Amino acid sequence: MTTAADRLVKEQGLEARIAAIVEPAIEQIGYRLVRVRISGLNGMTVQIMAERPDGTMTVEGCEAVSRAISPVLDVDDPVDKAYHLEVSSPGIDRPLVRKGDFETWAGFLMKLETNRLVNERKRYRGQIVRVSDEAITIERDRPAEGEESAVEIPFDAIGEARLILTDDLVEASLKADKAARKARGDNADDVEAGAADRGH
């Protein structure tokens, strides 16, 4: 049985290979992997999104993760050309990859793409209204005429899910971040990304 902390939405191909290499190193220093994404930015960019278990991330955290994963990427060398490594926080309009993410952000607007047809479609937009062990139920904000507004989507059918930036989400994210920092005894105001260049 999966727990709220297990990643349910995972990468494919080279991104999955990189995730398998970096995830243990990230967890070893007390962080968790959110997502690996490869893009054509700056020739080629490998983006690693990570966070603390409480969902926060700082510039220092990004630097710590970068230092932890650089040696393992050098040893395994999964990418056969020069690339730019970028370590970042998930951001406010974050990807949802764990059962716990769907539970935490229930009630907020999200968009989701499935890896197979669910109720004759692959793209959904709406609010999470229920999370079970096997699936989420979303209340669609713009169902087409004749379509059900509530749809159950199994976790294994989710290809990608992310929050949509709204004023309510920004407010809730800032409150959650402040509460997490207070619980840890931090008063740092830093929030976002760190990056490092890599040439192979």
Residue among 129, 126, 137 at smallest CA distance from 106: 129
Distance CA 56, CA 50 (A): 9
How far is residue 163's CA from residue 135's CA, in Å, rounded to a whole number?
17
Contact indicator for 152, 141 with CB cutoff of 8 Å: no
CATH number of 99-163: 2.30.30.100
* Per-domain boundaries in the chain: 13-91+183-198, 99-163
Residue 113 CB contacts under 8 Å (≥ 6 apart), including other chains: 122, 123, 124, 158, 159, 160, 161
Helix, coil or strand: residue 87: strand
Radius of gyration of the chain (CA): 18
Residuewise pLDDT in 10s, the chain (200 residues): 667 788 999 899 999 999 999 999 999 999 999 999 999 988 899 999 999 999 899 999 999 999 999 999 999 999 988 999 999 999 999 999 999 999 999 999 999 999 999 998 999 999 999 999 999 999 999 888 888 899 999 999 999 999 999 999 999 999 988 888 888 887 544 433 334 444 44
Q: What is the pTM of this model?
A: 0.86
Looking at domain 13-91+183-198, what is its CATH homologous superfamily? RimP-like superfamily, N-terminal (3.30.300.70)
Q: Residue written as tokens 């930015």?
A: 41
